Amino acid sequence: MSPPAVKVAAKEYGLDILQPNRLKDEGVIERLKSWNPDAIVVAAFGMILRQNILELPKFGCINVHASLLPRWRGAAPIQAAILAGDTVSGITIMQMDAGIDTGGIFKQREIPIEAQDTTESLSTRLAEAGAALLGECLPEIFTGTMKPYPQDETKAIYAPKIEKQSSGLVFNEPAEQLARRVRAYFPWPGSRIMIGDLEIKILQARAIPSGILAQGTRGIVEGFPAIGTCEGDLVIEELQPAGKKPMNGKVFLNGFRHWVE
């Protein structure tokens, strides 16, 4: 869940919030112990909990994970789902263990991935669903009427952390994959191309599988700037040149005469 959604859920369900940069920071463990928590709920935390924390609460540590586990374990499940062309994502409420998203599952809820979803838009819907599902699960977990069931290890897929250097677009990939990349990497780390010394952020793009441009060649398709790939054309609908505001692709062409080589 996003930080705002975590705060909303915490207020609604009477949860205390702790957002340390590192679990080793001074006073973190002591504060957790002072609460004598029935459960510790983790959402979008990105750090592995050590055994001394996992064993601290009566009902253990519970994770709100933004995928339908065991698909897309790890740090970037939302980006991975968009990159893979998945049509559905979801929320998993799970019991944490020493592994990376390997614990038992309490409950899941599917959320469709729309054709134009970015990580930002899908994260918002998943955050809302996660807060609601957590609220449904906690009372049953506390009364013992809901028990976790094991994940199917044969279906496990890992979603590695996204790095900043992943933002550069390489046109030896199909246009459809690049369009997914633009959506998956919005708003961070973003998608970028270089034209000489000018960096351009690609904010919104779509693929035309039966393209007309040679791979790596810039051109104009349906009035928008486009670049040929190994399979199809990537049509750039919205972009942001360095030092400028975001703009429509057609507007960009009016002021940038050197797009077509």
Alpha helices in the chain (DSSP H): 3-13, 28-35, 51-54, 77-83, 119-143, 175-184, 249-255
Q: pLDDT tens digits, residue range 158-205?
A: 999 999 999 999 999 999 999 999 999 999 999 999 999 999 999 999
CATH code at position 231: 3.10.25.10
| Whether residue 169 sits in one domain with residue 155 | no
| Whether residue 133 sits in one domain with residue 187 | no
Domain that holds residue 153: 3-159
| Whether residue 151 sits in one domain with residue 182 | no
| Whether residue 153 sits in one domain with residue 75 | yes
| Whether residue 223 sits in one domain with residue 114 | no
| Whether residue 232 sits in one domain with residue 117 | no
- Give the residue-averaged pLDDT of 95-117: 96
| Whether residue 155 sits in one domain with residue 175 | no
User: Is 2's pLDDT higher than 50?
Assistant: no
Domain edge (last residue) among 136, 159, 182: 159
Whole-angstrom distance, CA of residue 150 vs CA of residue 78:
22
- Give the residue-averaged pLDDT of 228-250: 97
| Whether residue 150 sits in one domain with residue 197 | no
- Give the residue-averaged pLDDT of 14-42: 77
Q: In degrees, to the nearest 5, what angle opens at C-alpha 144 toward C-alphas 138 and 150? A: 85
| Whether residue 168 sits in one domain with residue 139 | no
Average pLDDT, the chain: 91
| Whether residue 146 sits in one domain with residue 64 | yes
Domain edge (last residue) among 118, 143, 159: 159
Contact at 8 Å (CB) between 33 and 52?
Answer: no
Tell me if 261 is assigned to some domain. Answer: no
| Whether residue 61 sits in one domain with residue 34 | yes
User: Two tokens at 246?
Assistant: 């975001």
- What residues contact residue 62 under an 8 Å CB cut-off, 6+ apart? 39, 40, 41, 42, 93, 94, 95, 96, 106, 134, 137, 138, 141
Domain edge (last residue) among 125, 159, 193: 159
User: Is 6's pLDDT higher than 60?
Assistant: no
Tell me if 184 is assigned to some domain. Answer: yes
**How many domains is the chain partitioned into structurally?**
2
Tell me if 260 is assigned to some domain. Answer: no
